[in-house]
Amino acid sequence: MATVLSQYQEQQKKLLDKLPSGLTNPELLALQELNYRINVLQTMQVYCKTAPVSTDVNTLGFHYQLVSASLRFLLSERRFGLKPDEKLARQRETAAASLEKVFSDQNRRFQSFKPTAPELYRKSLQEMVNTVLPAWIAYRTSYINTEEVFS
C-alpha cells in the first residue's frame, strides 16, 4: 500500500507542478483521481495503524464498522470517467464484480472474527486491506487510467 501511495503522490506532484502553465483535460481528470486515490489509501493506512490491539470483540467491533463502511462506499462512489466503449464497459463490469466479491469474502471473514491473540485483529485487518485495495485500484483504473497521462 505504501509503495502505491508514494507512486500516486509523485504523480500528483508532477501534475501540481504543471498547474501554473495549465493542465490538459486528461491531466486534470488524472489529478482529481490521484487526489481521491491518495485520500483512500491514506485513510486505510490510518485504519491499519489505529487498529486496536485486543481480543475484546466489542473493542474491535466499532473500529471494524468504520473500516467496513469506508470499504463498502468504495463499491459505489465516483462512477465517472471517460465514456466507455463496449470493451471498456465490460472491463468495468468485471472489475466491479471482482471488487464486490473480494470485499464480500473479506467481510464475511470478519463477521465471525474471534481473535486468539491481541495482535491478530491488526494483522488480519492489514491483510484484508491489502487484499481489497488492489481490486479497488483495478476497478478505479477501469474508470480513469492515471498511467495513460504519464506514458
From residue 2, give the alpha-carbon distance in Å to each of 26, 46, 121: 25, 12, 20
Residues in the chain predicted with pLDDT less than 70, given as ranges, are 1-2
pLDDT number for residue 2:
65
**The pTM is what?**
0.92
Please state the domain count of the chain. Answer: 1
pLDDT number for residue 79:
83
Span 124-134, pLDDT tens digits: 999 999 999 99
Range of the domain at 35: 2-150
Distance CA 124, CA 149 (A): 35
Asked whether the beta carbons of 33 and 139 are under 8 A apart, the reply is: no
Distance CA 48, CA 63 (A): 10
Phi, psi at 82, each rounded to 5°: -65, 150
